[in-house]
Structure 1
């Protein structure tokens, strides 16, 4: 008995020292991003913005497109499958926290010159690594953070998709409005051409006036053709975003842009950092890198593995479970010489963590910039739109006055033509500017948007199945 105690003392001593050192491999706290947040944004409204921000435009056609895109867009579906991959990887890593148990069975027949004998065997074996330093737990936690980062990436992709849908829809509506405007302008130009031709026939005008007006009519018709081609391109773009082949989406038709909603409450930058999914993705990647560093540090310390097995063999299957042979073993593996591999891995993991921290800080800065840029562009666009409205009023008054003077023979037709072209150009520019203003508001909503609840997110963890079910 004393000999057995003496032989087990070295192993017990090593285990005691190992348990006493638990915690030495603990990671440092995750550092804060190297970014100083401002106290507030330059401009803010009072309307609270909901996650489905596009509803602020009160456009049921846009609502319908968004619902279809969030369900059927193929890029978003692919992003969801990446989320499922991340969840499966985390579940696989978590299996290391539990023992692995294997069963085995066998049969053997030995033949001699005069007779033969059968031997049957069965057994169970189990293996378990004691997580002395938290290495396995750190690896599991790192994968959980990657799942959260991938979920945030999925939500960011959904926000980006809704922005693309809104911009493409407003551009399509604008082009359809431009088409209706071009038709009205063509009708105006054709009516004026008839008037000029009548004056020329009566000897009250020159042939140059007729030619100039015919050129304007031809230009108006060419503009209609160009607008039609642009409409088809935008319809193809929207169809693909909806997960349909070009021309197969059955898009709604509208030529009236919605009014600009009231400016939303931008909140404070600190709230934005906590709300935006791409910022959350960056932070989760920082946390995952920190856990990877902890695992790399822990990997430099000894590992304790417990192995157990039960085996039996018999010449008759009915006697197979009568005499079990059980074994239990503990193995302590201590890294001695590895050429500096583990130390290098620690340095690499620490550098990855620092990289993630800096990237996270850049993501925060970019988020703040996007909000401020959208606010600045919207304010400038509102001033431009107000100026255009005033210019249109003046251009219309000038055209009416010059047209009357031309009919009375007081001015040349070239002045009337210039005034007409200025008025029509301003009308087209006004419509384009309104669409750009809506686009800047979409950019603001995207910059302020939080995590968007997307169909399928809650089902990322599939129902557990057995190996036979998978087969």
Structure 2
């Protein structure tokens, strides 16, 4: 027994002198990151909870409720718990395994020599127990590689949760803006319908008094009908947005969310965007992709170690006795060591390494794609914000000109120099511009929200 043990110990010492396997250097990232973004942004310092800049308790309450109850986030939180459990399982391989068994049996024998003779009974009891311990020596670092895989998988799951939380906060804020915009449009449309009703009454009265013709009345009715037809669409939009907000908040009854805000807030201040390489640290999705790439390299290391011999130590104690009180006085112990390794496997392990290398190449491409997408998202947001602001300025100028046109058309109509149609055309154009401006201003606010999301700041302090 001692000789077996010392042979095993000598083998471990010899092989442990070999270098523990480590991940091989991966392929370099075939992606050039630009030095700067093409559009300069603002100078506002970054904050984690960017929606506080809206100074809306209503929005903050909606976001807090959604973060606690959203279905997707709940799923990701359970994935984090699963990843922690997988890490605990992998860490258990570094400790010896100890088990036991205990049992007993009773044996009775009946012997009858003749039909008339009495039966002879004989019985016996036996008790058995054992303790068994086993330990795998991680000579090549296979267990350590498995542990590193699970550590990185846990960190990737935590980053997935951060990224989804960031996405959710932006979706809630955008949905909130869209609902306010829809209600603002409804308010403007309602006021326009009232004015059109008044104009119809006036034209009807003028027609009765012979100061307007039937065409003028018909044209005014057409304008009123067009305005009325827009109302159901805005009501539909508002209802669908409220339903979506309820779903994002984790509600199953789709009960409308209570919202009282009626006026669009000012756009968020432009933040400092830094340089594109900052996204590698700030974006949770890039962090997660990088961790999965590193995890793949450690999986290859574990597969390489699986092709090498493994070393195991086992110890066992067997207990057996016919009497329970003497069970632990009768025992046999064994200590064994073993070296096991593959000789022929039909190329199974080699094929597994090849597969894992292909998976690592896939993860490298996914990482490059994630980085490129993040840069494009920030670039798109910067361009969209700049052009959207310019578009709104031009719309405001157009609205100012349209109001002057309406004033001139009204004067000419009253003086009999133009038809009522010219006045109605100018008035209808103003109605459309007023509603359109609300939508475009809401779009600018959402573009600013999109920039904060694209920059990838941590959405909730301490979120993991």
Deviations 1:382-405 (A, max 9, x none): 000000111111101110221122
In the TM superposition, what are the counterparts of 1:404-423 in structure 2 within 5 Å?
A: 404-423=411-430
Deviations 1:332-353 (A, max 9, x none): 0021111111111111111111
Please, what TM-score do these two structures have when normalized by structure 2? 0.93
Deviations 1:8-62 (A, max 9, x none): 8875665454223342x33213454322222222322111121212222222221
State the match for 2:106 in structure 1: 109
The counterpart of 1:149, out of the listed 145, 156, 166, is: 156
Please, what TM-score do these two structures have when normalized by structure 1? 0.92
Between 1:7-16 and 1:97-106, the stretch displaced more is: 7-16
Kindly tell me: are residues 454 and 101 of structure 1, through their superposed partners in 2, closer, same or farther at Cα, counting changes over 3 Å? Answer: farther
8 A Cα contact 1:176 1:255, kept in partner: yes
Query: Quick one: distance in 2 between partners of 1:162 and 1:346?
Result: 41
Between 1:317-326 and 1:206-215, the stretch displaced more is: 317-326
Query: Quick one: distance in 2 between partners of 1:386 and 1:133?
Result: 67
State the match for 2:273 in structure 1: 266
Kindly tell me: are residues 454 and 325 of structure 1, through their superposed partners in 2, closer, same or farther at Cα, counting changes over 3 Å? Answer: farther
State the match for 2:114 in structure 1: none
8 A Cα contact 1:378 1:441, kept in partner: yes
SS in 2 for 1:440: helix
8 A Cα contact 1:237 1:246, kept in partner: no
Query: Quick one: distance in 1 between partners of 2:98 and 2:313?
Result: 12
Between 1:223-232 and 1:245-254, the stretch displaced more is: 245-254
Query: Quick one: distance in 1 between partners of 2:102 and 2:148?
Result: 37
- The answer on 1:361 being equivalent to 2:358 is no
8 A Cα contact 2:8 2:337, kept in partner: no
* RMSD of Structure 2 on Structure 1 (CA): 1.9
The counterpart of 2:15, out of the listed 2, 7, 18, is: 18
Deviation for aligned residue 1:110: 2.5
8 A Cα contact 1:105 1:121, kept in partner: yes
- The answer on 1:36 being equivalent to 2:32 is yes
State the match for 1:176 in structure 2: 183
For structure 1, the residue ranges without an aligned partner over 5 or more in a row are: 459-471
Deviation for aligned residue 1:436: 0.9
Deviation for aligned residue 1:222: 1.7
Deviation for aligned residue 1:255: 2.4
The counterpart of 1:96, out of the listed 85, 88, 93, is: 93
State the match for 1:312 in structure 2: 319
State the match for 2:118 in structure 1: none
Query: Quick one: distance in 1 between partners of 2:213 and 2:79?
Result: 71
Kindly tell me: are residues 107 and 280 of structure 1, through their superposed partners in 2, closer, same or farther at Cα, counting changes over 3 Å? Answer: same
State the match for 1:461 in structure 2: none
- The answer on 1:298 being equivalent to 2:294 is no
Query: Quick one: distance in 2 between partners of 1:22 and 1:434?
Result: 63
8 A Cα contact 2:128 2:318, kept in partner: yes
8 A Cα contact 2:283 2:456, kept in partner: yes
In the TM superposition, what are the counterparts of 1:426-445 in structure 2 within 5 Å?
A: 426-445=433-452
- The answer on 1:343 being equivalent to 2:350 is yes
8 A Cα contact 2:148 2:295, kept in partner: yes
- The answer on 1:195 being equivalent to 2:202 is yes
State the match for 2:64 in structure 1: 67
Kindly tell me: are residues 154 and 196 of structure 1, through their superposed partners in 2, closer, same or farther at Cα, counting changes over 3 Å? Answer: same
Kindly tell me: are residues 68 and 446 of structure 1, through their superposed partners in 2, closer, same or farther at Cα, counting changes over 3 Å? Answer: same
SS in 1 for 2:268: coil
- The answer on 1:234 being equivalent to 2:241 is yes
